[in-house]
Structure formats: structure tokens, C-alpha cells
């Protein structure tokens, strides 16, 4: 089954404790991206990757890091989480070819930073 898998689904942590949210896709997609969803603000793009070793900032990259060492994986790293990073996070992937362009989203990771 074609899917984007995020882990964990829920995460509660404390300020300053480094964490990683994993994202993996099994569709051989070149494009992967991370979003955060906050009430009243919709989805905002954090980082995206056009292919292996190619990443770029979205609209809200501060406080986050990403890496793309393999095509299927695109982890999101919070080196020193802060309470304002409490949010619902989504990973998504897509083919890059025109008519096939369609974001496939994971089920989300609800992060609480205390």
C-alpha cells in the first residue's frame, strides 16, 4: 500500500530535549516536505526536499533541521524544542512530474513541548 509513515503519532517532551520525528514513504517520490498545522494559521511549510541531499527552507524553518540521505526518508529534527513548537506536524511526499503532482500526507505527529 502506498503510504507516508510518520512516527511517533504523539510526543510530549520538555524544553531543550532534542527530538526527531521520522518520515518514510514507499512510493519512490522525489519530493518530500514538512508542515506544521496550527489553529487559525492553516498549514505552513517548514522545509522541503527536491531529492536526495537537496533541501530548502519553507516559510517557518527557524528551530528545525532536516536531512535527506535516502530517497525514502526525511526526518525532522528539533535540536532544542521550545513551547512555541507545540503543534501538529505533517510530512508529505509527491512525484514532481506535472500531471502526477499530488501531495501524499502522513497521519500527523502531535507534539507538545512543556
Taking the complex as a whole, how short is the minimal distance between the CB of residue 53 and other proteins, in angstroms? 15
Q: Of 1 and 99, which has the nearer Cβ to other proteins?
A: 99
Taking the complex as a whole, how short is the minimal distance between the CB of residue 66 and other proteins, in angstroms? 14
What are residue 56's DSSP bridge partners? 48
How many C-beta neighbours within 10 Å does residue 67 have? 16
Question: Which residues are at the interface with other proteins (CB under 8 A)?
Answer: 4, 31, 33, 35, 40-45, 48, 50, 56, 58-59, 90, 92, 96, 98-99, 101-103, 105-108
- As a whole number of angstroms, the distance between CA 112 and CA 92 comes to 21
Q: Of 18 and 96, which has the nearer Cβ to other proteins?
A: 96
Amino acid at each position: 500500500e502506498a503510504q507516508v509513515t510518520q512516527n511517533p503519532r504523539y510526543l510530549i517532551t520538555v524544553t531543550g530535549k532534542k527530538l526527531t520525528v521520522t518520515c518514510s514513504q514507499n512510493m519512490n517520490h522525489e519530493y518530500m516536505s514538512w508542515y506544521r498545522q496550527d489553529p487559525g494559521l492553516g498549514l505552513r511549510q517548514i522545509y522541503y526536499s527536491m531529492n536526495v541531499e537537496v533541501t530548502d527552507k519553507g516559510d517557518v524553518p527557524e528551530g528545525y533541521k532536516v536531512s535527506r540521505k535516502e530517497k525514502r526518508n526525511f526526518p525532522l529534527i528539533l535540536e532544542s524544542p521550545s513551547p512555541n513548537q507545540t503543534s501538529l506536524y505533517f510530512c508529505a511526499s509527491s512525484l514532481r512530474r506535472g500531471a502526477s503532482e499530488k501531495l501524499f500526507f502522513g497521519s500527523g505527529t502531535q507534539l507538545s513541548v512543556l
